[in-house]
Amino acid sequence: MRKFFSSAIKILKPLAYSYLRISTDLQQKGHGRKRQLEASRAYAEANGLEFAEGGELEDIGISAFKGANVREGALGGFLEAVRSRRVQPGSYLIVESLDRLSREQVLAAQSLFLGIIQAGINLVTLADNRVYRAGKTDLGDLIMSLVIMSRAHEESQTKSLRLSAAWKNKRAAAASLKPMTKWCPAWLQLADDRSGYECIPDRVQIVRQIFSDSADGIGVYKIAHRLNQSSTPTFNDSDGWHQSYVAKILANRAVIGEFQPAVRRDGKRTIEGEPIEDYFPAIIDKELFYRAHQAKAQRQRNGAGRKGKAFSNLFSGLATCAYCGASMTYDNKGSGPKGNQYLVCTNSKRRLGCQGKRWKYTDFEASFLAFITEIDFASIVDADERSTAQSQLSQKLASLEGELASVIALMDKAFALLETGAPPDFVSTKLQEMQLRKESLAASVAASRAALEEMQSSQHRAAESRDEIQSLVNRLRDANDPDLFDLRAKIASHLKAMIETLTVAPQGSRPRLMRIATETLTKFGGDAANVAHYIARRGQQPEQTHRYFAVGLRDSRVRIVFPDDEEPLKYRQQVIATDDGIERVTG
């Protein structure tokens, strides 16, 4: 901004600045900008003024009705330059009319007007060829300025009220499901008779695939990548599909038919009134919508990011180190003689104090698939070959959890409205409605989870042969399977929905026990020496070196598995904790 207001000590002619404010791009295209600039330069030349470097000040699309051009526009920058004397007293500010400066209420507009001329700036209005000279404004000038600015405010206020009334009528019509405007989501278009909106079949199919992929555990990056790879046309002039646009589609409740009325206040879109259901044709059922949302939320909480060509790590964002609590990451050492893939503690990998070792990934995955019998992986992989009842119940549970999360988020927004001065009675009523819906959904989630647990426990997957388990493992490692990424993404999504915690101990309990012994001795000194030595001796026993992983399911069941060191499809011991007690099973 400084270069626009360079001083002119050596220039004898007074400096001139032009200020133009154009409300819309249409005015700019209609040559309003060019006309005003030419008129300003012609006035300066005719009156012996020198245009300052960068002296053409513009506020395009910024309103003067509520003073936005003063708060955040070029006019505000000019006034700051006047106060700091970067614009010299005696300079000229050329405008088309006083209403270009302000359309605020008269007192605010008059204060702005007087502030300019009292700072030593001559104000020129081209419309009436009037000059309001610094320090010489008489009573007639004040009266004239008051009349002009009062009229400008009244015109803007009338226009604002008229537009508000028009949009209010449109929103009322929307409540009766009549289209407000031709604007609609990119997968719809206004019918020729303007009676409603029609689907664009090709685009609707794309949107449905996006939601289906998201619900199956595929992230926005991969979805966008696939759309670009298949040369799927975009819905706008973009150079391709982007993650942000895919995310916007997934967040748009217009897919389930909702329309949220809103108004613009101070240049910001503000929600007004209740969402209107069935305003748009619904192209996604609510169950799929909420399943997609729940899956997306789980990915954001647990390991969002790129997953590789084959969705390498099923446990991204889930697995944590038993020794330090840090996340376990997938570490690919390549395919050479010393290469392999491992699960490893991030702190250990970065040399941040954890001594945890690696666990060969293929061994860990095989043991997990074989022994976590609470999850029926085969029904996910071979949905067409097995009963779909469990799959449908799992989908229903995910949908309910997604809707419950949505209601909780809306309640948080309602509380935030109170802080902005929203009517307490209105907000209180909405909160009561949402609380009832929240309680109903929570009860449905609990019932569906219990039903799913009962269904899973009745399947007795533990009785499946090792050959069947090995076949499942092989299927999930088949690099030639074109559906491999989708299969593994679907399983990873299911794991995130079912599992609360997954703790991995590649060196068994020894590191944890030795740490406890050291901490006990450090904290309590010689008084606890016997206790510390007992814990240390126990940590040295061979059975404490057997690696294990512990899975805590969302329904409160826990399973701890000690796989065989040589055969991942065998186990040394399992510990199962349910509401009925604790059971130990040896291999």
Share of the chain above pLDDT 90, in %: 15
Q: Is 48 left (phi over 0), alpha (psi -120 to 50) or beta?
A: left
Radius of gyration in angstroms for the set of CA atoms belonging to the chain, rounded to a whole number: 35
Query: For residues 120 and 89, is the Cβ–Cβ distance under 8 A?
Result: yes
Q: 197-245, pLDDT tens digit by residue?
A: 999 999 999 999 999 888 877 888 889 988 998 899 999 888 899 988 9
Which one-letter DSSP state was computed for residue 232?
A: P
| Predicted local confidence at residue 53, as pLDDT | 79
Burial tier of 101 (Cβ tally within 10 Å: 0-12, 13-18, 19+): buried
Query: For residues 288 and 215, is the Cβ–Cβ distance under 8 A?
Result: yes
User: In this structure, which amino acid lies at residue 176?
Assistant: S
- Residue 489 has, within 13 A of its CA and on its CB side, a CA count of 26
User: In this structure, which amino acid lies at residue 9?
Assistant: I
CA nearest to 416, candidates 404, 403, 430? 430
What gap in Å lies between CA 485 and CA 419, rounded to an integer?
Answer: 46
Burial tier of 476 (Cβ tally within 10 Å: 0-12, 13-18, 19+): buried
DSSP string, 256-325: GT-B--EEEETTEEEE-S--BTTSSPP-S-HHHHHHHHHHHHHHHHS--S--TTTT--TTTTTEEETTT-
In sequence order, which residues have a C-beta less than 8 Å from that of residue 490 and are 6 or more positions away? 216, 217, 380
The model carries a pTM of 0.47
Extents of the domains making up the chain:
2-157, 188-284, 319-508+546-586
What gap in Å lies between CA 380 and CA 417, rounded to an integer?
Answer: 43
Q: 435-456, pLDDT tens digit by residue?
A: 888 888 888 888 877 777 666 5
Query: For residues 501 and 551, is the Cβ–Cβ distance under 8 A?
Result: yes
The reply to whether CATH 3.40.50.300 applies to domain 2-157 is no
Residue appearing with tokens 């419950």? 404
Q: What is the pLDDT along the chain (587 residues), one digit of tens a residue?
A: 444 444 444 446 889 998 887 755 444 444 467 777 888 888 888 898 988 877 888 877 665 445 666 677 788 888 888 888 888 888 999 988 777 776 666 556 667 777 788 888 888 888 778 888 876 666 455 555 455 555 544 454 445 444 454 445 555 554 555 776 778 899 999 888 888 899 999 999 999 999 988 887 788 888 998 899 889 999 988 889 998 899 999 989 999 998 887 766 555 666 666 778 888 999 998 888 888 887 777 666 555 555 455 567 888 888 999 999 999 999 888 776 667 889 999 999 888 888 888 999 989 998 998 888 877 776 666 654 445 666 677 777 777 887 888 888 777 777 766 655 566 676 677 778 888 888 888 888 888 777 776 665 544 444 445 566 677 777 777 767 777 777 788 888 778 878 889 999 999 888 888 888 888 888 888 778 888 888 888 878 888 889 999 999 887 889 999 999 888 888 889 998 877 778 877 76
CA nearest to 33, candidates 60, 63, 68? 60
Which one-letter DSSP state was computed for residue 375?
A: S
| Predicted local confidence at residue 208, as pLDDT | 93
